Amino acid sequence: MFEEKLDALSQITAEHMAMPFPPSFRGLDIAGQDMVLLDADAYGYASGVLKGPLDGQRRAGLMRLTAVFEKVLPAIDDVYAARYYKHVRDMAVLTAEVETLRDK
């Protein structure tokens, strides 16, 4: 199960890198969250987990990050940006799943 999830994370991360960032979201804040940083943080955690386990501080940051999407996603009214950030959320959730499975 762990290896399958790790492979899926590798795939979703590659897909994310192939998706263009929504240009109108540069410099945009939604619900107090800078959208460029949200994207960068999610990718940073994913690539970190692909390399190995996170330390306690980064693991806590990942858990906080996944919660941010619950506030941000409903406020996105641009169709492409909503699809893009749902993909980013899915990547962050899968990252958290992989990290949790690593402990077992």
68 CB contacts (<8 Å, ≥6 apart)? 31, 33, 38
Mean pLDDT of the chain: 96
For residue 54, the surrounding DSSP H or E stretch is none
Total number of domains constituting the chain? 1
How many CB atoms sit inside 10 A of residue 67's CB?
A: 9
Residue 14 is part of which domain span? 2-102
Summarised one tens digit per residue, pLDDT across range 62-97 is: 999 999 999 999 999 999 999 999 999 999 999 999
- Is residue 100 over pLDDT 90? yes
